[in-house]
Structure 1
Amino acid sequence: MTTQRRCSRAACSNQAVATLTYVYSDSTAVVGPLATSAEPHSYDLCEVHAVRLTVPRGWEVVRHEGGFGPLDTSDDDLTALAEAVREAGRGDRAPEPERPGSTGRRGHLRVLPDPQD
């Protein structure tokens, strides 16, 4: 039997439809589709709290642009991004060395030059 997860916000008993993950080293918050399982360093949010989330000044938010709904197990780009941010936020990996030809780096994210250049 599967138990529905509830919103992590205090005094909210609504069903969770999104997962919030912070990457403190990048001052970034990611609000994406509900993760397939509860993670210790992420927060499940109901639709109201997922849409109304604000972050401190200077932080960035990567937010799912569609409506939130029941967990969709299909592979989409946002789910992959959210999983990658969760993995990077764990901090138990050694940092990757800088690759030749990269034009900038912010934490685990990299800006690469246009291949046509």
Structure 2
Amino acid sequence: MPARECSRTACSRPAVSTLTYVYEDSTAVLGPLSRTSEPHAYDLCADHAQRLTAPQGWELIRVPGSSGASDDLLALADAVRPRPAVPEPVPAAEPSPRRHLHVIRSSND
């Protein structure tokens, strides 16, 4: 199985890091090369990973580790996303009597 290459255009160096984005939180996560290629992640060579900057207004999280140490950086990206509060269960309402619509004619008819 050939080594994965850097995702940057015209770069054929071997990838050593994987970049994922959490668009909802404006966060980019750069970590060790994932074991499998993910369709929504970018594999980067050492040079491109080192020079990477986040878009203006975004946070860049660099996760240290050796190549292949992380199985799924998408799970890491989900881990930094704040969890919504769990709403309390609403008690079941008693069924209301079925109501029917009635036509009411105006006095002009």
For Structure 1 versus Structure 2, the TM-score category normalised by the shorter chain is 0.5 to 0.7
Name 1:72's counterpart in structure 2: 68
Give the gaps of 5 or more residues in structure 1.
74-78, 89-95, 101-117
> Within 5 Å, which residues of 2 pair with 1:33-112?
33-65=32-64, 71-73=67-69, 79=70, 82-86=73-77, 88=78, 97-99=84-86
With the length of structure 2 as denominator, give the TM-score of the two structures: 0.65
Deviation at 1:3, TM superposition (A): 1.4
Question: Of the two, which has the highest radius of gyration?
Answer: 2
Give the gaps of 5 or more residues in structure 2.
88-109
Deviation at 1:80, TM superposition (A): 7.1
Deviation at 1:81, TM superposition (A): 8.0
Asked if 1:23 is matched to 2:22, the reply is yes
Secondary structure of the equivalent of 2:38?
coil
Percent identity between matched residues is 53
Structure with the largest fraction of strand: 1
Cα distance in 1 for residues equivalent to 2:72 and 2:38? 16
Name 2:2's counterpart in structure 1: 3
Secondary structure of the equivalent of 1:48?
helix
Return structure 1 stretches of 4+ with deviation > 6 angstroms.
none
